[in-house]
Amino acid sequence: MKRVATIGECMIELRHTDARTLALGFGGDTLNTALYLARAGRDKGIQVDYVTALGDDPYSQSMLDGWREEGIGTDLVARLPGRLPGLYIIRTDERGERSFTYFRSAAAARDMLRDGRDAQLAERLAGYACLYLSGITLSILDADQRQALMTTLDRLRSGGTQVAFDSNYRPAGWPRIDEARRWMSEAFRRCDIALPTLDDEQRLFGESDIAACLERLRSAGVGEIVLKRGGEGCVVWPAGAESSMIPPARVGKVVDTTAAGDSFNAGYLYGRLIGKDPAGAAAIAGRLAAAKIQYPGAIMPRAAMPDLDAS
């Protein structure tokens, strides 16, 4: 059994179906990755656990119930009495473009590493194969909790746990760009597998091209880099080898790109966990992301999951 944990925030999602009607769901970048990895690894000896904090309200309980149905472990979820999850509303305009309104300043997940929970987490994750987090994970925490998380990453890596990180830069989540740069850089320095998107990195660090981005990440000590480029595929640069371009998987019709990167990350981690080399894992990741974007919303139906073991 290989155990993987993802850490971050899942929120209540309200999506406009018309001007006055909202549909209820749940969503979050690291949760999306956890879910797709749990589906892929169900019969491969991969157990995925989610790390976050929720309240003791009915919506928090619904989230937990849904995660368990997908095979995601919830023993690492803190329940904070009297607290609530964050919430966001999706509105789609006449061109199909989506906009988001967030209500998350008092979300339980913002305090997930307080009151000694950081030390408890480091102990409970000892022996895990991998811990995955994103820039959104960092953005919801205050400076003290971010530093506690960095200490936890150091401790886990010293015990053999790999750290995978996607910067997933969202400017609205950060008060200042220099603060985002600082903490993203701290995470990259503690990262074994980097899974960023080129557009995000260029917005955050101002690099002019792929080579500059790759060199910065390599200089930070990242051993394995997978730079996502949307519809242009990705660049894979394993330690001790040359970088290579991996073309995108073919897609019949793009319906919704929500969670394309999250599903890609899940596919890549799955590939590496079952023993594929980085290029092979990237090809698996591309197939999963290509399947996802042919369905609306972050989570496609289970029956639509592609055969990730097909060559």
Question: Structural domain boundaries of the chain?
Answer: 2-298
User: Which residues of the chain form beta strands (DSSP E)?
Assistant: 2-7, 11-16, 22-27, 46-54, 77-79, 87-92, 98-103, 130-134, 162-166, 193-194, 224-228, 234-238, 244-246
* Cβ-based neighbour number of residue 258 at 10 Å: 19
SS3 (DSSP) at 206: coil
pLDDT of 258 reads 85
What is the C-alpha to C-alpha distance for residues 90 and 98, in angstroms, rounded to an integer?
A: 7
The 10 Å CB-count burial string (b at 16+, else e) for 23-53 is eeebbbbbbbbbbbbbbbbeeeebbbbbbbb
231-258, pLDDT tens digit by residue? 899 999 998 899 999 999 988 888 888 8
Whole-prediction pTM: 0.95
The band of 94, judged by pLDDT with boundaries at 50, 70 and 90, is low
Q: How far is CA 196 from CA 157, 184, 214, 247, 252, in A?
A: 20, 11, 10, 16, 25
Mean pLDDT in residue range 68-84: 97
- The residues annotated as belonging to the active site are 262
**CATH code of domain 2-298:** 3.40.1190.20
Strands 2-7 and 77-79: unpaired
* pLDDT of residue 107 exceeding 60: yes
Q: Residue 154 has which token pair?
A: 């150091």
